[in-house]
Structure 1
Amino acid sequence: MKVFVIPVTPFQQNCSLAICEATQRAAIVDPGGDLELIQRAVAENGATVEKILLTHGHVDHCAGAKTLATHYGVPIEGPHRDEKFWIDQLPDQSVRFGFPAAQAFEPDRWLDGGESVQFGEETLDVYHCPGHTPGHVVFVSARHRVAFVGDVLFAGSIGRTDFPRGNHADLIRAIRTQLWPLGDDITFVPGHGPTSTFGEERRTNPYVADGVSA
């Protein structure tokens, strides 16, 4: 699996293009905007988009999802159903944060923890990791040791929990009980900023490093 990180929107949100090398089938994770950049990456890599995957319902992660899904004729999968109230607010979110007008939509498939999604010959396991938002999910390739974590975890930080229905304790618990057991060697693509590994964050992250009290 090849992964290309494409920063989009004024928030420099990390949209990911994940391509199955055996089939050139691809999934786009969190297309928040700047769709021409995403489409260019797809074309330059000779990929065939098979689906759109969403970690959560904030505007910088999903405002472009419906338009892109319509363009490629593909389904949207994720996030968890508890994100519906955020996706329903996309028209207001887009105005509030100066984004192009975005319409609310219903994903073709809501996701629960323990499920999986496929594109080409690749499988990503789904983990429900609430806290930043209530229905946030994380996508993990156990085979390639890569995770797409949205705004759950960052290099040196964690997601905000001061949004409606955010919960700091839930976020810390999700990171420590859902993500850490997957292995220190997993490289993760966060919603913003540079990639890191679970192991590095367990050693150095001031919020969730081993030995740091919740």
Structure 2
Amino acid sequence: MSEQQTQPPFQVRIVPVTPFQQNCSIIRAPSGKAAVVDPGGEPEKILAAAKEFDADIEQIWLTHGHLDHAGGAEAVKRETGAPIIGPHKEDTFWLDEIAAHWAQYGHPGMGENCAPDTWLNDGDTLTLDGIEFNVVYTPGHTPGHVVIYHNGANIAFVGDVLFAGSIGRTDFPRGDHQTLIDSITGKLWPLGDLQFVPGHGPASTFNRERQSNPFVADHITGYKGAEKKPANAMDQKLSKRWQ
């Protein structure tokens, strides 16, 4: 007899928002209570998707403070009353400049500055209608980036730390390449082979990236004693580097 698959204790709907097509995720518990991860902008689009999903947004979770991830948080909060939770307080300076940064990109009014109700730290737990999610602190792309995951459902919401075939940019203020690599190998890989929803682009899995990602494959980082081989500079150059 085949082994019965355990159903995840929640559903996820991804809503691409903003000119950067950022993956905003709506996590819906069976009761309909929901959390929205990284509402970067276009709050009316997010709220319409939640209504279609029969999802009652009760919490707003932020992985980091960049404009395309946090720019719509205050608007969603006003409409739903949901508290804004995260990211780590080291991203305060990013959250304080969201409106100005959108104007610099030629989209004034696309988003607004954000003041979280609660900051997140490494090892924190988030609870959605009795369903527990865990938090790891993953600086490098920004100094206050966090990743939110659920081991039982084998899924992580990684913001801009990791992408299918790439990693987050580190040329922004207080970004650091080696810190980002250390966050990925030290905080994400030990979680096992989770599927992840990145801030942009298609989903992937940690094991897939450990095998072939031109920045953090095991043969590049030497993770767990893997034999290190030189990185292919052309692959790294061609690999998409997101916001």
TM-score by length of structure 2 reads 0.85
Q: Aligned pair 1:205/2:213, yes or no?
A: yes
2:47 maps to 1:39: yes
Amino acid aligned to 1:154: F
Preserved contact between residue 24 and residue 120 of structure 1 (Cα < 8 Å): no
Q: CA deviation at 1:2?
A: 0.5
Q: Is 1:11 equivalent to 2:7 in the alignment? A: no
Name the CA distance, whole Å, in 2 between partners of 1:47 and 1:191: 21
CA drift of 1:36 comes to 2.0
How many residues end up aligned between the 2 structures? 212
Q: Does 1:122 align with 2:142?
A: no
Alpha-carbon distance in structure 2 between the residues aligned to 1:62 and 1:99: 15
The higher-RCO structure (CA 8 Å, 6+ apart) is 1
Q: Which is higher, the Rg of structure 1 or of structure 2? A: 2
CA distance in 2, matches of 1:146, 1:108: 25
1:121: how far off?
2.4
* 2:157 alignment partner, one of 148, 155, 168: 148
3-state SS of the aligned residue for 1:212?
helix
Correspondence for 1:93: 101
C-alpha distance in structure 1 between counterparts of 2:95 and 2:184, whole Å: 24
Partner of 1:169: 178
Taking only aligned residues, the RMSD between alpha carbons, in angstroms, comes to: 1.1
Find out whether 1:54 has 2:94 as its counterpart. Answer: no
**Which amino acid in structure 1 is aligned with residue 192 of structure 2?**
G
Of residues 147-156 and 91-100 in structure 1, the stretch that sits farther from structure 2 once superposed is 91-100
Supply the distance in 1 between the matched residues of 2:26 and 2:35 (Cα, whole angstroms). Answer: 6
The farther-off stretch of 29-38 and 75-84 is 29-38
Report if aligned partners of 2:72, 2:112 keep a CA contact under 8 Å in 1: no
Partner Cα distance (1:123, 1:56) in 2: 20
Deviations 1:139-172 (CA, angstroms, capped at 9, x unpaired): 0011211000000000000000000000000000
Q: Matched residue of 1:27: which SS?
A: strand
Unaligned runs of 5+ in 2: 1-9, 223-243
The Cα of 1:116 is off from its aligned counterpart by 1.1
The ranges of structure 1 where at least 4 consecutive aligned residues each deviate by more than 2 angstroms after the TM superposition are 98-105
In structure 1, the partner of 2:232 is none
2:143 corresponds to: 134
Q: 1:186-197 counterparts in 2 under 5 A?
A: 186-197=194-205
Q: Which runs of 5+ in 1 are unaligned?
A: none
Separation (CA, whole Å) in 1 of partners of 2:61 and 2:35: 7
TM-score normalised by structure 1 residue count:
0.96
Task: Determine if the alignment matches structure 1 residue 64 to structure 2 residue 75.
Answer: no
Matched, 1:84 2:84: no
